[in-house]
């Protein structure tokens, strides 16, 4: 297949492109490089620099590429920032993404796979979380992702655009050549690794008084290459709708910290901080629908494998990306 990847220079996008290319597919990346890196674009992929706010640019790129499938990763991802500047999130993650949607319809793209999030559930009541859980986002980031899912559902119904929205839990780990290097960094695993590398004084634990066995929040960490596999399967499948992607395993913040100590062999300081507003105590995915419908088989089963791959990538790329 020839796959068009919007946001292919970001963390999950770059790892996914490497996976698709390794599987023998052709890839065209469209990215504005606002938060992504040119260096994170696989040299085997075609690169088109452009912004989703520019309908002519995205339409021309899709028309020229004539893709067999489209994956949309291009979005802002900072939950905290979305609370401070909600319109930035609605403008980019919804309004600008309409251009992508329209260009996909105009050019009869056979399938659009959308990078969604567990944040659409807000504070879920039932654990593990299945797709039938009510969607009640508690921040503009999750709301914008849910809005775009609903827009896709209408485009499917009224314009015949096939789509699949994949709701990731906590993406983690690295591919062979690409890894997680956000600017600024706010995610737990890379932050703990920065502490292990001596690049930060300590790691803060946000809340040790949750109703969990060790008092810290539990999350479902899923390897980025397992996510990549699901994107390819979703492109190849006739299924239209939303699916959860997680490992089904829960690990506490303290377990992640310990695993980074073990894998890196380095010690570092840990500081207890108050809870971060809006953090649910527990988020674990029920991904049985993705397994059943797509035939998805996650390959990285343990937190150790996930943390090891992230650490290996950082050891090979101690400075991350420079451009």
> Closest separation between CB of residue 121 and ligand UDP, Å?
12
Residues 213, 209: Cα–Cα separation, whole Å: 10
Nearer to ligand UDP, 68 or 255 (CB): 255
Q: What angle do CA 102, 107, 108 make, to 5 degrees?
A: 95
- Closest CB to ligand UDP: residue number: 217
Residues 218, 211: Cα–Cα separation, whole Å: 10
Catalytic residue among 11, 19, 121, 141: 141
> Closest separation between CB of residue 268 and ligand UDP, Å?
12
Nearer to ligand UDP, 24 or 184 (CB): 184
Residues found in the chain: 323
Nearer to ligand UDP, 68 or 214 (CB): 214
Residues 280, 6: Cα–Cα separation, whole Å: 30
The tokens for 55 are 């309908």
DSSP class of 55: H
Nearer to ligand UDP, 216 or 308 (CB): 216
Q: What is the 3-state secondary structure (H, E, C) of 150-188?
A: HHHHHHHHHHCCCEEEEEECEEECCCCCCCCCCCCCCCH
> Closest separation between CB of residue 98 and ligand UDP, Å?
25
Annotated catalytic residue 141: yes
DSSP class of 137: -
> Closest separation between CB of residue 223 and ligand UDP, Å?
15
Footprint of ligand UDP (CB under 6 A): 170, 186-188, 191, 203-206, 217, 219, 253, 276, 279
- Residue 21 phi/psi, 5-degree rounding, is -65, -40
Helix (H) or strand (E) holding 319: none
Residues 292, 276: Cα–Cα separation, whole Å: 35
> Closest separation between CB of residue 144 and ligand UDP, Å?
15
Nearer to ligand UDP, 50 or 278 (CB): 278
What region does 109 belong to: left with phi over 0, alpha with psi -120 to 50, or beta? beta
So which residues are the catalytic ones?
141
């Amino acid at each position: 297949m020839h796959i068009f990847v919007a946001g292919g220079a970001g963390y999950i996008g770059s790892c996914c492109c490497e996976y698709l290319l390794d599987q023998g597919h052709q890839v065209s990346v469209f990215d504005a490089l606002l938060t992504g890196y040119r260096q994170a674009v696989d040299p085997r992929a075609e690169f088109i620099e452009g912004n989703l706010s520019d309908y002519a640019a995205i339409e021309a790129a899709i028309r020229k590429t004539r893709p067999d499938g489209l994956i949309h990763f291009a979005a802002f991802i900072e939950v905290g920032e979305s609370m401070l500047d909600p319109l930035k999130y609605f403008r980019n993650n919804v309004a600008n993404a309409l251009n992508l949607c329209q260009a996909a319809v105009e050019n009869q793209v056979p399938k659009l796979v959308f990078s969604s999030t567990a944040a659409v559930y807000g504070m879920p009541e039932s654990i593990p979380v299945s797709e039938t859980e009510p969607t009640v986002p508690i921040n503009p980031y999750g709301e914008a992702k849910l809005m775009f899912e609903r827009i896709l559902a209408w485009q499917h119904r009224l314009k015949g655009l096939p789509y699949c929205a994949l709701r990731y839990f906590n993406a983690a780990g690295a591919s062979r050549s690409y890894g997680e290097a956000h600017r600024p960094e706010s995610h737990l695993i890379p932050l703990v690794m920065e502490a292990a590398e001596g690049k930060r004084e300590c790691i803060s634990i946000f809340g040790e008084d949750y109703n969990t066995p060790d008092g810290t929040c539990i999350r479902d960490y899923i390897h980025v290459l397992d996510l990549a596999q699901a994107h390819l399967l979703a492109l190849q499948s006739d299924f239209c709708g939303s699916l959860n992607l997680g490992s089904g395993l829960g690990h506490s913040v303290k377990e992640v910290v310990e695993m980074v100590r073990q894998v890196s062999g380095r010690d570092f300081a840990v500081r207890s901080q108050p809870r971060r507003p809006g953090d649910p105590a527990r988020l674990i995915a029920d991904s049985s629908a993705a397994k059943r419908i797509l035939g998805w088989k996650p390959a990285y089963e343990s937190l150790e494998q996930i943390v090891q791959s992230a650490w290996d990538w950082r050891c090979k790329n101690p400075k991350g990306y420079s451009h």
